[in-house]
Structure 1
Amino acid sequence: MDFPQLIAPLLESQNLSDTQARELMEYLTAGHATDAQAGAVMGMLRVKGAAASELAAFATVLRKESVGPKFDDLNDFVDTCGTGGGIPSFNISTAAAFISAAAGVSIAKHGNRGVSSKCGSADVLEALGAKIQTSWDVLKRMLQTTGLGFLYAPAHHPALQHVGKARRELGFRTVFNQLGPLANPAGAQFQLIGVYDERLVRPMAEALGRLGTRRALIAHGMDGLDEVSPVAPTRYALLWDGEISDGILTPQGFGIPALDPKIILPGDNLEQNAALLRKAVTDVDSELCTAVLPSAACALWIAGKARDRLQATEMARQTVAEGKAKAKMEEFVEESNRA
Structure 2
Amino acid sequence: MKDILYKLFDYNYLTRDEAKQVLIDIVKGGVPETQIASLITSFLMRSISVDEILGFRDALLEMRVMVDLSDYSPLDIVGTGGDGKNTFNISTTACFVVAGAGYNVVKHGNYGATSISGASNVIEQQGVKFHADNDLFRKSLDKCNIAYLHAPLFSPALKAVAPVRKSLGVRNFFNVLGPLVNPVQPEFQMLGVYDLAMLRLYSYIYQEENKKFTIVHSMDGYDEISLTSQFKVVSNRGEQLFMPDDLGFKRLNQEDLYGGDTPEDASKIFRDVLSASATEAQTNAVLVNAAFGIQTVDQTKTIEECIEIARDSLYGKKALKVLEKFIEINS
> TM over 0.5: same fold?
yes
Name the structure 1 match of 2:110.
112
Instruction: Determine whether 1:70 maps to 2:68.
Output: yes
Are the equivalent residues in 2 in contact too, given 1:7–1:24 (CA < 8 A)?
no
Verify: 1:237 aligned to 2:234, yes or no: yes
Q: Could you tell which deviates more after superposition, 26-35 or 174-183?
A: 26-35
Instruction: Using the TM superposition, name which of 21-30 and 177-186 deviates more.
Output: 21-30
Any idea what SS the aligned residue of 2:78 has? coil
Query: Which residue number corresponds to residue 316 of structure 2?
Result: 322
Q: Give, in angstroms, the shift of residue 191 of structure 1.
A: 1.2
Q: 115-124 or 54-63: which moved more?
A: 115-124
Output the CA distance in 2 between the equivalents of 1:30 and 1:36. Answer: 16
Counterpart residue identity of residue 14, structure 1:
N
Corresponding residue of 1:289: 283
User: 1:159-209 deviations in whole A, cap 9, x for unaligned?
Assistant: 333333433343322111111111111101211122233331111222233
- Give per-residue Cα distances to partners, 1:57-78, cap 9 Å, x unaligned: 2112211211143334x22111
Moved over 6 A (4+): none
- How far apart, in 1, do the equivalents of 2:163 and 2:278 lie? 44
Identity %: 28
Change in Cα spacing, 1:160 to 1:330, as seen in structure 2 (3 Å) is same
Contact 2:232 2:241 in 1 (8 A): yes
Contact kept, 8 Å, 2:87 with 2:258, in 1: the verdict is: yes
| Cα separation, partners in 2 of 1:110 and 1:285, compared to 1, 3 Å | closer
The CA deviation string for residues 258-299 of structure 1, in whole angstroms up to 9 with x for no partner, is: 124332112343343223222222328951221211110110
Q: Answer yes or no: is the 8 Å Cα contact 1:75–1:106 preserved in 2.
A: yes
SS of residue in 2 equivalent to 1:81:
strand
**Matching residue of 1:180:** 178
The question of whether the paired residues in 2 share the 8 Å contact of 1:196 and 1:225 is answered with yes
Distance in 2 separating the partners of 1:285 and 1:273 = 12
Deviations 1:234-260, CA, capped at 9 Å, x for gaps:
23433x2xx8x4442322233322124
Unaligned runs of 5+ in 1: none
Task: Specify the alignment match of 1:264 in structure 2.
Answer: 257
Structure 2: unaligned runs, 5 residues or longer: none
Q: For the structure 1 residues 162 and 279, does the alpha-carbon distance in structure 2 shift closer, same or farther, using more than 3 Å as the test?
A: closer
Equivalent of residue 46 in structure 1, options 44, 47, 50: 44
State the partner residue of 2:152: 154
Q: CA–CA distance in 1 between the matches of 2:220 and 2:34?
A: 35
Q: C-alpha displacement at 1:22, in angstroms?
A: 1.9
- Residues 225, 13 of structure 1: alpha-carbon distance in 2 compared, 3 angstrom cutoff: same
| Pairing 1:278–2:271 present | yes
Structure 2 equivalent of residue 80 of structure 1: 77
Equivalent AA in structure 1 for residue 193 of structure 2: V
* Secondary structure, aligned partner of 1:47: coil
Structure 1 window deviating more from structure 2 (224-233 vs 213-222): it is 213-222
Mapped to 1, the partners of 2:330 and 2:187 lie a distance apart of 24
**TM-score where L is the length of structure 2:** 0.90
Partner residue in 2 for 1:220: 217
Are the counterparts in 2 of residues 88 and 225 from structure 1 also a CA contact under 8 Å?
no
RMSD value, Cα = 2.3
1:332 aligned partner: 326
**Which residue, 141, 144, 153 being the options, matches 1:143?**
141
1:214 to partner: Cα distance:
1.5
- Structure 2 distance, partners of 1:145, 1:274, is 23
